[in-house]
Amino acid sequence: MTELAEKTKSLSALDLNSLLETSKVLVSSDEADEMLSHALRTVMGKFLISRAAICLIESQGETERYVVVKSRGIANAPKRFSDLRAFMNDCQFAQSVPLVSKTRPMGYLLLGKKLTDLPYSDSDIAFLESLAALAASALENALSMQEVKRLNRSLDQTIQKLKTLLELANSYHVGLSRDEILKIFSHSVSGQMLLRSYLVVLRGESGKPLTELSLGVEVQDLARGQQFQFELEKTLQVSTPTRVSHDDFPSLYLAGLRYVVPMRNNDKTIGAFICGERPTQQPFTDTDLEFVSLAAAQAATALEQARLFKETLEIQAMEKEMQVAKEIQAALLPKSLPNISGVELAARNIPAKQVGGDYYDIARLDERHLFLGIADVTGKGAPAALLMANLQAFIKAHLTAFHPDTFDLSKVVGKINNIIYENTPADKFITFFGAIFNRQTRQLFSVNAGHNPPILLKASGEIQRLCKGGVILGVISTLAPYDYEITSLTSGDILLLYTDGVTESMSERREEFGEARLLDLLRSNRHKSASDIVAAIVSEIERFQSSGEQRDDITLVCLKLS
């Protein structure tokens, strides 16, 4: 027999009927406040008492703390307290009934004396304990439902922010003017964050700050004082989102502005987005500030790219323009590889033209995790490079939110596939392979989206190919989750990622380099370092193919465990 059944065993038919009616109300509602109000009304009406309260456990530890969530008939009582007995004495409560769910103690139902001055009988206590058990169970369900709703709202907001970032990435192009970029950026951020006031400040050619855009701020009035100009110069020295205080930014603070978010490109602050609070006064969360920071970084990159493109048009011919594009694309690839104990890393990218459609990335996600990625966009030249840059932006946007307990690479690949499918022509697609390596467990979590299967040469000499994944990115929408595989690596293992420009390199006799030659090279150079292995492969390809002729982009990434 359950505990609740034991408690209700001695109750009268009237009490049982009252409990039944109460349970119907509790079960039919998912609002905690409504449940608690009904529970108080029930006991106060049944026992003719003028004061009652429900307090919940707020924190546990050496000293428990309680918070009063619902009360009737008490005034000037503290909202929070730690001494239950003292609180009951101060508020003249005569009886306490614990609220205990199936999983944990939740709080207490506190009752004053009956107006009849009669004590609480055993049947009264049995009724109260039964009611408390019902209320605790219903309350826990309601709180769990509220938490689920909160998490769903948070997830919806995060998804919407990611969509906004992706829309921004697709909106920016080198043909936009500075004013157009700033308007796209500021309108998107203010709409997403429900802002009613902001300033956009950029560093001018002289290094002085220039107010480019404003909403809800009387810039002309502020600009009359030297203090305002001094504060704007300080905003351009900020490298992370900063709260505006009256001590540091008095003019901005009095104008209702509360946050400075730097617009950074290549580790330099080129401007600042300065905004006020929401009309709801809801403070910014860390996620909010991260979203604005990413959007600001995108705008800064777009501004820098637009500036470079404009300078190129004014100064150089088409060949020079392509050279600048090549430099920009090279800047998107890792400038240096992570230095990790026990892990050798090497990579090489050789475009067939001045710019190419191959992509790779090696990035440290945290102290234990390393991201490895390689991709090949259809075609060559500028169109392929632009699509590659978009892919790189999508991946970077997701990697910034990496957390080892929640990050799911297979789901990320599915989302990126949908975005590319919906936003690129039918003849454009991308092969992609991505992996996350845990240097502590030495496990590799990988997803292959139609890319050349990376080669894993084990220390034992065994060859493995990492094939599990799904369709090429951009061909069809994600109908089923991408598959993945987890591979354990050991000392001496070598992982080689490559694009088809390696195996499809052509000799003067129109013979392909092929995978067999690549495997032989890998085996014969297995005792060399990762850098020497990549160098040996590139050297052999250059010797093999026709002099001065490279048909496709060549990209190699090598990981070797020592």
203-217 pLDDT, tens digit per residue, is 888 888 888 888 888
| E strands, 439-507, in order | 443-449, 455-457, 463-465, 469-470, 485-488, 494-498
Residue 182's nearest CA partner among 272, 257, 294 is 272
Q: Which residue has the higher pLDDT, 494 or 393?
A: 494
- CA–CA dist 324, 326 (Å, integer): 5
How much is the mean pLDDT over the chain? 83
Q: In this structure, are residues 545 and 505 in contact, taking their beta carbons and an 8 Å threshold?
A: yes
In this structure, of 15-24, 108-117, 369-378, 553-562, the range with the lowest mean pLDDT score is: 15-24
Which residue ranges does the chain devote to CATH 3.30.450.40? 3-145, 172-309
Task: Out of 109-118, 193-202, 338-347, 396-405, give the one with best mean pLDDT.
Answer: 338-347
Q: Are strands 93-100 and 105-112 parallel, antiparallel or unpaired?
A: antiparallel
Q: In this structure, are residues 449 and 413 in contact, taking their beta carbons and an 8 Å threshold?
A: yes
- CA–CA dist 399, 409 (Å, integer): 9
Residue 466's nearest CA partner among 475, 453, 457, 452 is 453
- For 335-561, the fitting CATH number among 1.10.287.610, 3.60.40.10, 3.20.20.70, 3.40.50.300 is 3.60.40.10
Interaxial angle between packed helices 409-423 and 381-399, expressed in degrees from 0 to 180 and rounded to the nearest 10: 140
Which residue ranges does the chain devote to CATH 3.60.40.10? 335-561
Quickly state the pLDDT bin for 1 (edges 50, 70, 90): very low
pTM of the model: 0.46
- With a CB cutoff of 8 Å and minimum separation 6, the contacts of 181 are 172, 299, 302, 303, 306
- CA–CA dist 236, 260 (Å, integer): 9
Q: Which residue has the higher pLDDT, 386 or 398?
A: 398
Q: DSSP 3-state assignment of 282?
A: coil
Amino acid at 493: D
Measured CA distances, 52 to 38, 48, 114, 383 (Å):
12, 11, 11, 72
Note the CATH architecture for domain 172-309: 2-Layer Sandwich (3.30)
- CA–CA dist 203, 186 (Å, integer): 17
pLDDT in tens, 277-306: 888 878 888 888 888 888 888 888 888 888
Q: DSSP 3-state assignment of 80?
A: strand
What is residue 354's predicted lDDT score, i.e. its pLDDT? Answer: 63
Note the CATH architecture for domain 3-145: 2-Layer Sandwich (3.30)
pLDDT at 200 over 70: yes
Task: Out of 32-36, 240-244, 454-458, give the one with best mean pLDDT.
Answer: 454-458
Quickly state the pLDDT bin for 136 (edges 50, 70, 90): confident
pLDDT at 30 over 70: no
Give the residue-averaged pLDDT of 312-328.
58
Residue 55 dihedral angles phi and psi, to the nearest 5°: -120, 140
Q: Which residue has the higher pLDDT, 346 or 78?
A: 346
- With a CB cutoff of 8 Å and minimum separation 6, the contacts of 193 are 275, 278, 284, 288, 291, 292
